[in-house]
Every structure is written in C-alpha cells, then in structure tokens.
Amino acid sequence: MRRAVLILLPYTWLAALFLVPFLIVIKISLSDTALAIPPYTPTLDLTQGWEGIRTWWAGLDFENFVFLTEDDLYWKAYLSSLKIAVISTLITLSIGYPIAYGMARAPEEWRPTLMMLVILPFWTSFLIRVYAWKAILSKEGFLNQILLATGLIDDPLIILNTNTAVYIGIVYTYLPFMILPLYAALEKLDGALLEAAEDLGCSRLSAFWLVTVPLSKQGIIAGCFLVFIPVVGEFVIPALLGGSETLMIGKVLWEEFFSNRDWPVASAVAVILLAILIIPIVLFLKNEEKQREAEG
C-alpha cells in the first residue's frame, strides 16, 4: 500500500506535468490561429456535451504542418540547428576529451580540485556565462583590444552576432557536460590495461586508440548526447550571440510564440522538433539505463 503511494506520487506528477502537456502541444498544433484568448481555435467546450467534442474534433487539421513545409524558413532552421549541433558537439568532444583525459591521468591528490574546477562553471548561471562572451567578442571587446594591441590584426574582427560566436558560446557553456561523463569513464580505466597493451607491442598512440577510446565509449556517447540534444533546441545562445544569419529552431519557436503570438504554429514547430529529437533522446536514455545497470 505504501509502496503504491510512493510510486504513484512522482508518477502522477510526471504524467500531469510532463506527458499531458505534450499531448496538449500536439492538440494545439492541429488547431488554427485566432484573435482570441487563448489565441487558437477550436477550443473544447464540454458544456455542450458530445456536440462540443464533435465540433472540436472537426476543427483539427494538419494545416500548420503543411504551412511549415511550404515556408522554407522552417526546414532551413531545422537543418541549420542540426548542423550547428553536430559541429559543436564534435568540437566540444575534441576539446573536452584531452581535458578529461588530463584530469583522469593527473595525480590522485589533484583530481578533486580539478573536478571542482569543472563543476564550478556548471553551477554558475548559464545566462551569465553566455553573456560574458558579449563583452569579449564585440567589435570593441576584450579579444579585439588584445589582438589590436599586439599588432596581430589591423582591423577589428567581427565575431559577435555571427555563427562563429554561436559556436564559441555553445562549446563554452556545454563543455562541462562533455567533460564530466568522459572523466567518469576515463577515471575508472585501469592504468595497467595501457601498460599491458604496450607490453603486448602497442605504441602509445595505438594503445590509446585500441584500449582507452573503446573503454570510454559510454562516456563519449553520454557526453555527445548531453550536448547534442539540448543544443538542437537552444535559444539563449543564438539569441545573445548570434546574428541575422543564425537560424536556429529554438529561436524560431520563441519568436513564433512571443512575437507573432501564433501558438498553433509554435506548437507544430515543437512537435516536429520533438519528433527529430525523440530518437537521440531514447538512445540517450537507453545508454544511461545500461550504465546504471552496469553499476548496480
């Protein structure tokens, strides 16, 4: 009996505030925009009984999805989000891996400190860390001042409000998400395995490829998903650092909702975004489950 309550309470909460909202998003994505409160039609009027449900059902259609395929802004935004997410995930991995590796190979008494140094930015406000780059990358910013002062360049670089700034921002803010699972995987790695590989004739580099990389696979997978999935729907970074050329679907959704007040189209954008992300999300959850089982 107690067990049932224990299961039901968090379960009901998640169902009510996580699953049901998705159904509502799907429903509204099938509705039409209207100048009303709420700004969509039809609305379900249960006071009319069955008749109400029937008119509501008849009012649903795929118009918004058709609209999304007709206007090339949307599919370009999806493609560009995916491209930015893939590239920034790879950059984050290639920067994060050496750091995580260095941490895992550092003397044991350094490791808690290094760990704390990675976690500290993780706890610091995301918004503030993105904002910090504005002052660095702007035309009169810190980076240009340094480069001009040292004579490396003659004219200030235009970085802020370009895709480059977006990449920098993403890599910077998501780096701890990559380092932590990688470090967790690499730290468990037994140093004797590398010695055994070298003893059996591997060079340092081939031992790395044949032993270290395969054994840190779970960390790589977890880290990549932790970066890739949220970046596809990222809003803050393109909004603060990107420019007119930056096309990301999170920003499109935001504008559709807050500026155009077109809730049905915003919902349709969200439904497709979720459809794109559902496979990586399921894979991520499977990977996590596997890891938990391996540990438990």
Residues 46-75 interacting with another protein (rule: CB under 8 A): none
Q: Which of 163, 159, 162 is nearest to 139 (CA)?
A: 159
Position 263 contacts another protein (CB under 8 A): yes
Residue 256 CA to chain centroid, in angstroms? 20
Nearer to another protein, 25 or 158 (CB): 25
Instruction: Tell me which residues in 99-128 interact with another protein (CB under 8 A).
Output: 99, 101-103, 105-107, 112-114, 116-121, 123-128
Map the footprint of another protein across residues 236-255, applying CB under 8 A. 236, 239-240, 250, 253-254
Which one among 133, 167, 174, 183 touches another protein, defined by CB under 8 A? 133
Would you count residue 189 as binding another protein (CB under 8 A)?
A: no
Spatial contact of 81 and 167, defined as CB atoms under 8 Å apart:
no
Window contacting another protein (CB under 8 A); options: 3-11, 59-67, 69-77, 149-157: 3-11
Distances 165 to 90, 130, 247, 255 between C-alpha atoms, Å: 16, 10, 13, 21
Task: By CB under 8 A, tell whether 15 contacts another protein.
Answer: yes
Stretch that binds another protein, among 48-56, 63-71, 138-146, 194-202 (CB under 8 A): 138-146
CB 101 → another protein: shortest distance, Å?
7
Helix (H) or strand (E) holding 195: helix 191-199
CB 103 within 8 A of CB 135: no
Answer yes or no whether residue 275 interacts with another protein by CB under 8 A: no
In this complex, which beta carbon is closest to another protein, that of residue 84 or of residue 234?
234
| Residue 173: burial class (beta carbons within 10 Å; 0-12, 13-18, 19+) | buried
Residues 200-219 that bind another protein (CB under 8 A): none
- 98 belongs to the binding site for another protein (CB under 8 A): yes
Helix H, strand E, coil C: the string for 165-182 is: HHHHHHHHHHHHHHHHHH
In the bound complex, what is the minimum distance in angstroms from residue 249's beta carbon to another protein?
Answer: 8
C-alpha dihedral sign at 196, 202, 204, 205 = negative
8 A C-beta contact, residue 26 and residue 278: no
Burial of 296: CB neighbours in 10 Å, binned 0-12, 13-18, 19+: exposed
From 54-62, 150-158, 213-221, 271-279, give the range in contact with another protein by CB under 8 A: 271-279
Q: Is 172 near another protein (CB under 8 A)?
A: yes
91 binds another protein (CB under 8 A): no
